[in-house]
Amino acid sequence: MKRQTGFTIIELMITMILIAVVAAVAVPSFRTMVQNNRIATQANGFITAINLARSEAVKRGRDVYVSSSSGNTAWGGGWRLWVDDNGNGSEDASELLRVFEALEGGTTLTSVNGHTEVRYLANGYIFLANAGDPVPTFELRIPDCTGDSARDIEINFVGRPSVTRVNC
């Protein structure tokens, strides 16, 4: 009589249970990693726009604006960089430098203190109408955020942006 080789039903069941346990542990960690990578990429995209505006202002010796595409404090719909050619503070006669697309995946970018634009002066500093005005601060949030996957972005008065990881 020939002996049959293979796995018994018990061996297959134990293997399936082990795979299920490993998957149950790995999936939440993978989700957190994906969230962290997504929000870090989106924060870096906004920081890129801010740094580009600052360097263009210094290079051109003129004011450069970063403004919300929606015209309000919700920046998640995208933003644009432009130079005010006639000095009146509006985009009517301006040079559009770059347009940044809307954030994907339901991510929101909101100005905490009501800024619809960030204006860089020719010296690289940001424009604040009054000495006591708050510096631009933004909240970057993703849906179903867990842990410390959220980000706060602050632009100090000399124009340098910083990103802080915060709890959701």
Q: What is the domain count for the chain?
A: 1
Contact residues for 122 (Cβ-Cβ < 8 A; gap 6+): 57, 58, 60, 61, 62, 63
Range of the domain at 43: 9-166
Neighbour-count burial of 145, counting CB atoms closer than 10 A to its CB (0-12 exposed, 13-18 middle, 19+ buried): middle
Instruction: CATH number of the domain at 53, please.
Output: 3.55.40.10
In a domain, residue 1? The reply is no
Provide the β-strand partners of residue 141.
Answer: 108
In a domain, residue 2? The reply is no
Q: List, for the chain, all residue ranges whose pLDDT scores fall below the cut of 50.
A: none
- Asked if 110 and 80 count as a contact pair (C-beta separation under 8 A), the reply is no
In a domain, residue 54? The reply is yes
Q: What is the pTM of this model?
A: 0.80
In a domain, residue 131? The reply is yes
In a domain, residue 4? The reply is no
In a domain, residue 3? The reply is no
pLDDT given for residue 5 in this prediction: 77
In a domain, residue 134? The reply is yes
